[in-house]
Amino acid sequence: MSDTEKSQAASEQKFSEMVTGKISRRGVLKLTAFAGAGAVAAPLLSATASVAEASTTDATVAANAGIGFQPITPSTADEVVLPPGFSYTVIRKWGDYVVGGEKFGFNSDFNAYFPIDFLQGGNNPNEGLLWNNHEYISQLFISNRPANVNPTFEQLANEKSVVGGSVIHVRKNASGAWEFVDDPAYNRRITAWSLIDLDGPAAGTPEVWGATTVQGTLANCAGGITPWGTALSAEENFQDYGPDAAKGGYGWGKSDTDDRFFNDLHYGWIVEIDPFNKDSRPVKHTALGRFRHENATTVIGKSGHVVVYSGYDKADECVFKFISKGTYNPNDRAANMKLLSEGTLYAADFSKGAWVAVDRATQPKLQAAYKTQAAVLVDAGAAAKLVGATPTDRPEDIKINPADGSVFISFTNNSNHSNYFGQISRLYEAGGDHEALSFTWEVFAVGGPQKGSGFASPDNLIFDNKGNLFVFCDVSSSVAGKSIYTFAGNNGVYCIPTTGPSAGVAFQFASGPIECETTGPCFTPDFKTLFLSVQHPGEESPSLDKLTSHWPEGGTSIPKPALIAITGFK
């Protein structure tokens, strides 16, 4: 093992120990089955934990917690299960019409709601534009081809058309139900075929083969909404597309002699989309670094600089934030749309409570390892570790608590350190300023079957108007319902108060269909509607005649990922 590898292994061990130590000091649970390296294997815990222990459902406790609903119990039904008084409507599902010959894409993820009157200073909660990510393909459902077989050119063309994202116009009708609006002025699709600009330090450099414009966006996972009314879409598992299918990828080609040429250096960025201008071209911001971005949460710092938080969604990878060089001007939207083109990328050192600059100009170790800042940004994950950032437990979503500005981070899991259920941490920036370069942090909630938790593998996060944290879980469909995860049922949604006597206690709000992930949560401005994506139901189906799910159409239909609107919030 090299010195670099030894240093990285020590850092990974240190984070596991830090998490365990913070949990022990809080005394929130016994650690016989939690994440710490060397902990007793988690299956021992699942043998004694029941569903009743795993989910807090007592009506009196729930009422006192102020969550506004009667919690449900874990479910294995092939349906979206909600508390009494709540219902959902399917707005768009895979294959539905969007505009012209364009159809709604596959595996919906992140949603961003923009009031239809936003550019006029309005905040309409009943009509707006939705940006919806389409994260990845299914060879079976889209092309009916085996996972280890490369697509034909016809199949490839179709597969490239179902990723990226959609802008759709939505509104409440006279009966109060949400519906899709056929509106060619706004509705559009952005796919793996679309032209997209690169900007920032890496644009036009040899590190990206000189490109200033690239073809398409893909692997679009979570994202964020900017204060100036644009969507940020995070390219995550781009590495799955290029390799041959026989090598575990989607077989989209990776040779300059292949018409299907896939240059992975053109993916793994944060993409900005203007939903209000159908003729605008999306932009990939290289200043925010290239890695498997899970999200892009934007906030304005005390001196007006824009701060963007993002997690590298992989075990033993880092948490990042970008601070813009320029400052936000609420009266100049055009100037604001250039703010993510220039600034400094930082990564978190949890042992020191410090944000470390991933900046070649100020870091001798980066000067020794990389010739340019463009090279640093293209390899941001490795560069961050080189300057002392902490490898963590697969950081996914990051959200800001509107009540106090604290930063919540979902660490989904890390089987490398026996962390099978994940945890949510809470970070406090120095002086309450998101531009600060130092912080303190704590473990806020821990996944697992123990009473008061019940969730596993936390992923997306969102706050309601009462300060409650909604947590959306992502137990892999290949293991969901098996062994140590049986207590959780299908992937679900949990509400966790952040203050009061029930702070840190999880109450289950929803359960998704078989083998799905509920993802991409977004409230309307009045917090009365929650837009949500139901992704990859029936993902483990072995063939089209042996389907494991038939949601949302039922009967013998093929399962389809979809965007839904949940109502019933008061």
Tens of pLDDT, residue by residue over 433-475, are 999 999 999 999 999 999 889 999 999 999 999 999 999 999 9
Tens of pLDDT, residue by residue over 268-285, are 999 999 999 999 999 999
Residue 444: the pLDDT is 96
Ranking 5-14, 77-86, 310-319, 445-454 by mean pLDDT, the lowest is: 5-14
Q: How confident is the model at residue 544 (pLDDT cuts 50, 70, 90)?
A: very high
Residue 477: the pLDDT is 84
Q: Is the pLDDT of residue 14 over 90?
A: no
Please check whether residue 20 is in contact with residue 35, taking contact to mean a CB–CB distance below 8 angstroms.
Answer: yes
Whole-model pTM: value is 0.93
Q: Which H or E run includes 155? A: helix 153-161
Residue 26: the pLDDT is 54
Please check whether residue 126 is in contact with residue 174, taking contact to mean a CB–CB distance below 8 angstroms.
Answer: no
Residue 254: the pLDDT is 60
Side chain identity, residue 251: G
Tens of pLDDT, residue by residue over 483-537, are 899 999 999 999 999 999 899 999 999 999 999 999 999 999 999 999 999 999 9
Q: In what order do the strands lie in the sheet with 458-463?
A: 458-463, 469-473, 492-496, 507-511
Q: What is the mean pLDDT of residues 243-258?
A: 75
Q: Which H or E run includes 19? A: helix 3-26
Q: Is the pLDDT of residue 1 over 60?
A: no
Q: Is the pLDDT of residue 34 over 50?
A: no
Q: In what order do the strands lie in the sheet with 529-535?
A: 87-93, 562-567, 529-535, 517-523
Please check whether residue 478 is in contact with residue 503, taking contact to mean a CB–CB distance below 8 angstroms.
Answer: no
Could you tell me which of 507, 505, 482 has the C-alpha nearest to residue 494? 507
Pairwise CA distance, residues 186 & 300, whole Å:
28
User: CA–CA distance from 250 to each of 220, 241, 371, 464 (Å)?
Assistant: 15, 5, 32, 38
Please list the alpha-helical segments (H only) found in 260-397.
Answer: 333-336, 364-369, 373-378, 380-386
Residues forming a β-bridge with 510: 493
Pairwise CA distance, residues 143 & 156, whole Å:
9
- DSSP 8-state class, residue 51: H
Q: What is the mean pLDDT of residues 262-267?
A: 92
Q: What is the mean pLDDT of residues 13-32?
A: 68
Report whether the peptide linkage leading into residue 552 is cis, meaning its omega lies within 30 degrees of zero. Answer: yes
Pairwise CA distance, residues 139 & 144, whole Å:
6
Residue 10: the pLDDT is 58
How many Cβ atoms sit within 10 Å of the Cβ of residue 1?
Answer: 8
Task: Phi first, then psi: give them for residue 121, nearest 5 degrees.
Answer: 90, 10
User: CA–CA distance from 218 to each of 27, 160, 206, 215, 502 (Å)?
Assistant: 43, 8, 22, 10, 40
Pairwise CA distance, residues 222 & 550, whole Å:
25
* Residue-range definition of the domain harbouring residue 426: 3-567
Q: Is the pLDDT of residue 50 over 50?
A: no
Tens of pLDDT, residue by residue over 93-115, are 999 999 999 999 999 999 999 99
Residue 72: the pLDDT is 97
- DSSP 8-state class, residue 539: T
Could you tell me which of 292, 309, 311 has the C-alpha nearest to residue 379? 292
User: End-to-end CA distance of the chain, in Å?
Assistant: 57
Pairwise CA distance, residues 196 & 381, whole Å:
23
Pairwise CA distance, residues 93 & 168, whole Å:
12
How many Cβ atoms sit within 10 Å of the Cβ of residue 260?
Answer: 17
Q: How confident is the model at residue 480 (pLDDT cuts 50, 70, 90)?
A: low
Pairwise CA distance, residues 429 & 411, whole Å:
18
Residue 95, Cβ density class (10 Å: 0-12 exposed, 13-18 middle, ≥19 buried): middle
Please check whether residue 549 is in contact with residue 513, taking contact to mean a CB–CB distance below 8 angstroms.
Answer: yes
Q: Tally the domains of the chain.
A: 1
Could you tell me which of 370, 324, 305, 114 has the C-alpha nearest to residue 199? 324
Tens of pLDDT, residue by residue over 165-218, are 999 999 999 999 999 999 999 999 999 999 999 999 999 999 999 999 999 999
Residues forming a β-bridge with 308: 298, 322
Residue 195: the pLDDT is 96
Residue 7: the pLDDT is 56
Q: Token digits for 303?
A: 């001196």
Q: How confident is the model at residue 65 (pLDDT cuts 50, 70, 90)?
A: confident
Percent of the chain with pLDDT over 70: 90
Residue 248: the pLDDT is 85
Q: How confident is the model at residue 28 (pLDDT cuts 50, 70, 90)?
A: very low
Residue 41: the pLDDT is 29
Could you tell me which of 314, 327, 468 has the C-alpha nearest to residue 399? 468
Q: Which residue has the higher pLDDT, 429 or 263?
A: 429
Residue 36: the pLDDT is 32
Percent of the chain with pLDDT over 90: 82
Pairwise CA distance, residues 555 & 569, whole Å:
30
